[in-house]
Amino acid sequence: MKNKKLLLVVLALAIVTSLTAGTLAIYTKTVTMTGQVEAKKFAFTADGNIENDAEAINLAPTESMDYLFVVTNLDGKTPAEVPLKYNVAIDFSKASDNMPGLTATLYEKKTANGEYEVVATGNSTITYNDATEANTAAQHDYKLTLTWSGTDNDGQTVAGTQKVTYEQGLNVTVAAEQAV
Output the smallest distance, CB 156 to other proteins, in A: 8
Nearer to other proteins, 26 or 60 (CB): 60
Residue 101's region, left for phi above 0, alpha for psi from -120 to 50, else beta, is left
Nearer to other proteins, 120 or 159 (CB): 159
CA–CA separation, 38 vs 92, rounded Å?
Answer: 42
Output the smallest distance, CB 143 to other proteins, in A: 13
Nearer to other proteins, 18 or 136 (CB): 136
Edge-first strand order for the sheet with 45-50 is 45-50, 64-72, 139-148, 102-109, 116-122
Give the SS3 label for residue 67. strand
Output the smallest distance, CB 176 to other proteins, in A: 5
Q: What residues line the site for other proteins (CB under 8 A)? A: 42, 44-48, 50, 55-63, 67, 69, 82, 84, 92, 94-95, 99, 102, 146, 148, 156-157, 159-178, 180
CA–CA separation, 118 vs 41, rounded Å?
Answer: 31
Output the smallest distance, CB 124 to other proteins, in A: 12
Nearer to other proteins, 62 or 121 (CB): 62
Burial class (CB in 10 A: 0-12, 13-18, 19+), 55: exposed
